[in-house]
Amino acid sequence: MVVSSAPGKVYLFGEHAVVYGEPAVPCAIELRARVAVEARDDDRIRVHAEDLSLNGFTVEYSDESDDAPDVDVSESLVRAGIEYIDAAVEQAREAAGRPDAGFDITIESEIPLGAGLGSSAAVTVAGIDAGTRELGVELPPEEIADRAYRAELEVQDGEASRADTFCSATGGAVRVEGDDCRAIDAPDLPFVIGFDGGAGDTGRLVAGVRALREEYDFAADTVAGIGDLVRSGEDALAAGDLDELGELMDFNHGLLEALGVSSRSLDAMVWAARDAGALGAKLTGAGGGGCIVALDPTDRTETALTFTPGCEDAFRAELDTDGVRVEDEEDVR
């Protein structure tokens, strides 16, 4: 059995616009998804999920089966839990030249599903790494990132970007613009995350931005404006200017609001963070619910979020300089 883990992420800048070739800067954080993979002697796949914002489930199936999985949770939750790992399995099989390989897979994640912290990318990246290693193939992080991107592209009907998967595979702060993905230097970033306990519908939100962009020139200009903002943010990041980074994060949230991807709970947390003295705050990820990220070296923002109606959890998150890595088997129950 092989156990691999990969980190989640927050977007410093650039979500949604990155889908259209604009730059984005995601940063890996020290919340991880762990995937344990053990080869079987048949072609079946057995997935057991411990922590994916679900109550936990086990499902076993094969490629030839047309039957719905026999599990005691809703079909939508099963789909959310296994779709990305299923795509990861296909990538691992392809990379190892073992199209009929079967696996027992256990997933544990500290990253809530659909909250804007890169849960699907982390599970996909860790799944591909563990699956290929279990079949005797070791891939470099860049190839894992590329295969994870292709997996997400399939699951998300062609709407994925390389940002989440590249960040999860390599760790640290990265810059993504189209197919150009690279690590960048970043200072210590005092991230504070607020979570409303919910999850946005990524596909619906991305489609909504696409529809606005196609209908209104000013919406297309807003997307392009996010790209320009990211380029300014890169300069501030290189200079270690946290005040400027915070101002640009505030601006980025306003542009995302204009595109209709924020929510009442996300806005409430953003304003609570700003009122508490955060250098900047914005939603992170697709939006519609989930998480905000703020910059604050003090404990004031975390405290304020704790008392903000609609915020279920608030915590600090450190930049994770490690990407995908192999763990001890004891790290997954």
Give the global pTM: 0.86
| C-alpha distance from residue 288 to each of 196, 201, 261, 266, 317 (Å) | 10, 7, 5, 8, 21
Predicted local distance difference test score (pLDDT) of residue 62: 57
Beta-bridge partner residues of 35: 4, 107
For residue 55, pLDDT over 50 is answered with no
Domains of the chain, each with CATH number or no CATH: 2-184 (3.30.230.10), 191-317 (3.30.70.890)
Catalytic residue annotation: 164
Per-residue pLDDT band at 282 (split at 50, 70, 90): very high
Classify 70 as helix, strand or coil: coil
Is residue 67 pLDDT above 50, yes or no?
no
Average pLDDT, the chain: 88
State yes or no: pLDDT of 52 exceeds 70: no
Residue type, 263: S
The predicted-structure confidence for 205-238, as pLDDT tens digits, reads as follows 989 999 999 999 999 999 999 999 999 999 999 9
- Residues 130 and 158 sit within 8 Å (Cβ to Cβ): no
pLDDT tens profile 118-137: 888 999 999 999 999 999 99
Q: What is the pLDDT of residues 238-248, one digit of tens each?
A: 999 999 999 99
